[in-house]
Copies of this chain bind each other. A is one copy, B any other.
Amino acid sequence: MAGSSFGKLFTVTTFGESHGSALGVVVDGVPSLLPLTEADIQPFLDRRRPGQNRFTTARSEPDRVKILSGTYEGKTTGCPLAMAVFNEDQHSSDYRNLKDIYRPGHADMTYDLKYGIRDHRGGGRSSGRETIGRVAGGAVASLILNRLGVNVLSWVSSIGPVTCSPDRFDPEHLKKSPLAMPDPEAEKEAAVFLEHCKIARTSAGGTVTCTVTGMKSGIGEPVFDKLDACLGKALFSIGAVKAVEIGSGTQAASMYGHENNDQAGTDENGLPVLLSNHAGGILGGISSGSDIQVKVTFKPTPSISREQSALRPDGSVSPLIIEGRHDPQIPSRAAVVVEAMTAMTVLDLMMINMSSTMDSLIRFYG
């Protein structure tokens, strides 16, 4: 595995498996003099924690983050910031019956095909717990972006057939919403739908929407490290993601050019603005200064308690019932991961952009 690092100047390297002794991250390229303690990171991790309500898994995982290096007297030093969550409970015996079978929709088979070995306990490296490192790293990126006036916000925009209405977007509700949905009515409906899924021994898919407001213009490096390309990689690197859309997304396929092009006009103060944002804030791979708009599709949780037909390492096919309690949907816990990956991507490209013109270099060094 040679792919555990993300980012060129703001570089996040994660480590750890579901039932290993620790999961964590080394964040390199953190600018010095950012005030930072564990109390700044913990709230981000708490958002991805299960056990908050009946629709997320019941296992208790306090997941307290420890900063191992990179700060001094409450500030970052410019040195790599290592953070870890130590696993307290490693009941690997719970997973014994999964040792010799590949769960449908999981990475069990592919890890085994690639490495000839796998840590089957709780999914090993392919577990959702791997995102602990991402969220801790993304928290640092978000805190830096906030000080630059850039804000990344994500929420669950749909679960199964239930979709949040933009008209009922309530940011205050979102902060305390157990399903991470900003529309209280949709959340109630979604709760009913998830109850149905549980009874039906199945699970639901859904979507997470993410916006970046206060976005600077000029961010993104054509032609391969475009902002949308880097976001595409960042978001598809999250487990269970099957689609990424920017701006008008898949709808662009059935739009006319005169509909999809964002026309210029003037706002109430007579200032020039774009009257729509089908571009999602990105043209030619570079941010325009409009809000970034991204939507991510998550597949339904693959672990379901219904009987399935699974492959075994020896090539045989076998019925499988997965025991234990599992989240009936992924987006509610993954919203903060989408936010983390988006924040890292934007910050990294903002750092890279600083040397784009002679004028920037001369102002800095001249």
Contact = CB atoms under 8 A, between A and B. Distances in A.
Contacts of A16: 68-69, 80, 82
Given A29-B2, A237-B224, A364 B360 contact: yes
Contacts of A138: none
Contact of A265 (B158, B278, B309, B361): B309
Contacts of A67: 21
A32 interface: yes
A239 B229 CA distance: 10
21 contacts: A1-B80, A2-B8, A2-B28, A4-B224, A33-B115, A78-B111, A104-B264, A107-B283, A113-B288, A114-B217, A114-B353, A115-B356, A125-B223, A160-B256, A202-B258, A232-B233, A243-B253, A250-B250, A257-B303, A264-B309, A364-B364
The interface residues of chain A, by DSSP majority, are classed as mixed
Interface string A268-281: 00001010001110
Given A1-B221, A297-B250, A302 B119 contact: no
A121 to B, nearest CB: 8
A300 B252 contact: yes
Interface in A19-77: 20-24, 26, 28-34, 66-70, 72, 75-77
Contacts of A264: 104, 309-311, 317-318
Contacts of A211: none
Interface stretch (A141-149, A169-177, A182-190): A141-149
A78 B359 CA distance: 12
Contacts of A15: 26, 68-70, 79-82
Nearest to A1: B78
A9 interface: yes
Interface pairs A-B: 4 shortest CB-CB: A107-B284, A3-B225, A3-B221, A203-B257
A75 B359 CA distance: 13
A244 B242 CA distance: 8
Contacts of A30: 1
Contact of A8 (B8, B224, B362): B8
A192 interface: no
Contact of A244 (B13, B244, B300, B365): B244
A93 interface: no
A236 B245 contact: no
Nearest to A161: B254
